[in-house]
């Protein structure tokens, strides 16, 4: 329930569809795994998110 609300808020803030929010989230997780953008073990998100 909270995740759905967060997705809807992100969609509204960025002016995109929910499917695009899902893609943003997936790409940030992949970037964190590939580039070590996420801090090791602390579970924090990077400071910035990019929309293309």
Tell me what the pLDDT averaged over the chain comes to: 80
Stretch 22-44: mean pLDDT, rounded? 72
Give the residue numbers spanning the domain of 8. 2-35
The answer to whether position 15 is within a domain reads yes
Can you say how many angstroms the Cα of residue 23 is from the centroid of all Cα atoms in its chain? 8
The answer to whether position 14 is within a domain reads yes
- Which distant-in-sequence residues (6+ apart) come within 8 Å of 28 by Cβ? 37, 45, 46, 49
Backbone phi, psi, residue 16, to 5°: -130, 170
Q: What DSSP designation does 38 have?
A: S
The predicted structure's pLDDT at residue 23: 93
Q: What angle do CA 48, 51, 32 make, to 5 degrees?
A: 50
Q: How many domains does the chain have?
A: 1
pLDDT of 12 > 90? The answer is yes
Q: pTM score > 0.85 for this model?
A: no
pLDDT of 18 > 70? The answer is yes
pLDDT of 39 > 70? The answer is no
């Amino acid at each position: 329930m909270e995740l759905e609300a967060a997705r809807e808020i992100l969609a509204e803030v960025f002016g995109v569809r929910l499917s695009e929010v899902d893609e943003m989230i997936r790409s940030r997780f992949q970037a964190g795994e590939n580039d070590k953008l996420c801090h090791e073990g602390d579970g924090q998100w990077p400071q910035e998110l990019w929309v293309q």
